[in-house]
Amino acid sequence: MSNAVASPFLLACRRQPTSVTPIWLMRQAGRYMPEYRAMRARHRFLELCKNPQAAAEVTLQPVERLGVDAAILFADILLVLEPLGVGLEFVEGEGPRIHRPLRSAADVAALPTVDVGEAVGAVFETVKLARKALAERVPLIGFAGAPFTLASYLIEGGPSREFLLTKRFMRAERRAWEALMSRLSIIVGEYLNGQIAAGAQAVQLFDSWVGTLSPSDYREFVQPWSRESIRRLTPGTPVIHFGVGTAGLLPSMKEAGGDVLGLDWRVELGPAWDRLGHDIAVQGNLDPAVLLSNVGAIRRATQSILDGAKGRPGHIFNLGHGVHQETPVENVKALVDIVHELSSR
């Protein structure tokens, strides 16, 4: 048996006992890391994502530097939107832009059909190369944005605080919203299944911005399509379902599907897990800002999360959201070591 199959990360996804609590970090490859910045000095972000050799190298950087228990594919949730012809750009120092956002039912109707395999073939190639380079050291996680989070970028045209255009569209253009969410659930399914076929051993569905919705709006306007995305996935690969600010949505997200539910730091892990039921694994949930402080503070905050999990099988340690760019690498490395030390059983 390969060690990847017996890896603490994959065992925890399936709620099986492990000798230590596995840890990986959202945005573990990224600008806080000097190796990543060196790579970015040579490639623009989108170019890097489409260069399988370079992207696979970035995927492995945190495994080598930090000793995390899983690698996550280096790519982006928005890549899959590019073939829709909406004008995707990553503006240096700013973030993603969609130059031709969707503002009407006609805009949705005019979207071209896309062959996902053809459009993001480079990402699938990165998965193959990264999996080969990892050589059973740790498992490789693939990922995609969930339909709501992708739709919010398509409609807003970029990052948003209030998601007012998206919330207006949901209700005012209900038919078009359903058509868009249905299209996106198919695209997400194909994108993740392509990554699984290429060698991803688990996948994370990022519904990062869904916490902006009320629980009833989540159930009415989002849940059916998140469920549909997950239903389409090749069986047997663990699915992590994640969002930010989801305290009020967690039971409905659990219903939509996934083997592991991602928690952010606005909930206490122990009570949140008790409320959800222990028939689902949980991932989280250190406030990424804690990593800006010092090793003593990191140790205390880590102990408190591990205490909440009570050593129960099915806890994957992570941050509640991605590593901040300003984070000292040595603090991230300290966190990985502290989790392994304090959870050793």
Which residues are known catalytic residues?
A: 27, 31, 40, 76, 153
Instruction: Give the helix ranges, DSSP H, for the chain.
Output: 8-13, 34-42, 45-49, 52-66, 105-109, 116-119, 121-134, 147-156, 164-172, 174-198, 215-221, 223-231, 250-256, 269-276, 295-309, 329-343
Query: Which residues are paired to 203 by β-bridges?
Result: 142, 239
Among positions 95, 117, 311, 328, the unique one binding ligand 1CP when judged by CB under 6 A = 95
Candidate segments 76-84, 171-179, 218-226, 298-306, binder of ligand 1CP by CB under 6 A: 76-84
Residues 44-63 that bind ligand 1CP (CB under 6 A): 45
Asked whether position 206 contacts ligand 1CP by CB under 6 A, the answer is yes
Residue 1 Cβ vs ligand 1CP, minimum distance, rounded to whole Å: 28
Query: Which residues are paired to 72 by β-bridges?
Result: 141
Give residues with Cβ within 8 angstroms of 112, minimum separation 6.
Answer: 83, 84, 85
Among positions 57, 69, 76, 173, the unique one binding ligand 1CP when judged by CB under 6 A = 76
Asked whether position 285 contacts ligand 1CP by CB under 6 A, the answer is no
User: Between 27 and 183, whose beta carbon lies closer to ligand 1CP?
Assistant: 27
Residue 148 Cβ vs ligand 1CP, minimum distance, rounded to whole Å: 11
Asked whether position 288 contacts ligand 1CP by CB under 6 A, the answer is no
Count the site residues for ligand 1CP by CB under 6 A: 21
Asked whether position 208 contacts ligand 1CP by CB under 6 A, the answer is yes
Token pair of 286, please? 């250190």
Give residues with Cβ within 8 angstroms of 4, minimum separation 6.
Answer: 10, 134, 136, 137, 138, 139, 201
Token pair of 273, please? 């897990």
Q: What is the SS3 assignment for 193?
A: helix
Residues 303-342 that bind ligand 1CP (CB under 6 A): 322
Q: Which residues bind ligand 1CP (CB under 6 A)?
A: 26-31, 40, 45, 72, 74, 76-78, 90, 95-96, 143, 159, 206, 208, 322
